[in-house]
Amino acid sequence: MIAKYEFDSGQDGFDLLVLAAVHGNETAGTNACYKLIEKLNRGMIKLMKGKLTLVPICNPEAYQKDVRSIDENLNRVMVMHDNPQTYEQKLANEICPLIQSHRVTLDLHSTHCVGDVPFAFCDYPDVYNQKLIDALPVDFVLEGWPDIYSKQDAIQDFSTEHCAHMYGHTATTLECGYHKAPEAVLLAYQAIINTLVTFEMIDMPHPSVHPKKHIQMDSYILKVKEGQLCRDYKHLDFVSQGEEIARYNDGDSLYAPYDGFILLPNLQAPVNTEWYYLGRAKK
């Protein structure tokens, strides 16, 4: 159901998996993958060590319809399903074995709003994860994603990072900026190149360590009824304690509990989905 492109150097090294369009309308990573595939096929870039697998479109039906998902969020069901009931669960049964068979996974995503700041997630820190994140061309790293779900819902969030972690492997999610921005494609492509260089899979100059600001995610807000955000928030906008962030149509309001950052705001969030997240800079 999903198309994968495999390249084997014939030499010992890392096994790297690159995923894109886990959400069908997040196409920056898809375009970056196809750009790299073309260069590898034409011999413009040569794999020197290890094995590389690229999956440019992880959610084909959603990609064709330019929507986030068909039945449910694929990045919440990334676990093997004995009896898959939805389209995304069937996809997860294809993707999870790929994650299991690769030591490192780079999962490329993009965000909802024009001007959104690129960033990386670091859900399960380890030596390889940190090595990869250091090389990514972004200024911000979000930490604590699994904790906010277990704290608020007492459930596990079955993401690609969680899947890799359960197999004893490493995965990092990179949000490349706004879905349709050309800059997001360039960033996604550079991120793949930096990853290949960092793990000595291609022979190019090593990227310099990119300084990062780490944000500790604290909570997420579910949109429980019809309403709207009080302004056109962008990811990583600063919010002050007591600031009115959202207002429901019935007059109820939601306020910032502390000075911090609004994260991943979805101005068009449907009812019963994540509306926005909150976090604070780590000291």
The model scores a pTM over 0.75: yes
Alpha helix (H) ranges present in the chain? 28-41, 60-65, 87-100, 127-135, 145-153, 160-166, 182-198
Q: Per-residue pLDDT tens for 130-174?
A: 888 988 999 999 998 888 876 666 456 799 999 999 999 999 999
pLDDT of residue 180: 84
Q: How far apart are CA 68 and CA 21, in angstroms?
A: 9
pLDDT of residue 207: 77
pLDDT of residue 149: 73
Report the DSSP beta bridge partners of residue 55.
19
Q: Per-residue pLDDT tens for 8-50?
A: 999 999 999 999 999 999 999 999 999 999 999 999 999 999 9
267 compared with 59, residue with greater pLDDT: 59
The amino acid at 182? P
pLDDT of residue 152: 64
**How confident is residue 182, by pLDDT bands cut at 50, 70 and 90?**
very high
The mean pLDDT value of the chain amounts to 93
The least confident of 4-13, 86-95, 129-138 is 129-138
pLDDT of residue 193: 97
φ/ψ of residue 160, rounded to 5: -65, -40
Task: Tell whether the torsion through CA atoms of 195, 201, 203 and 205 is positive or negative.
Answer: positive
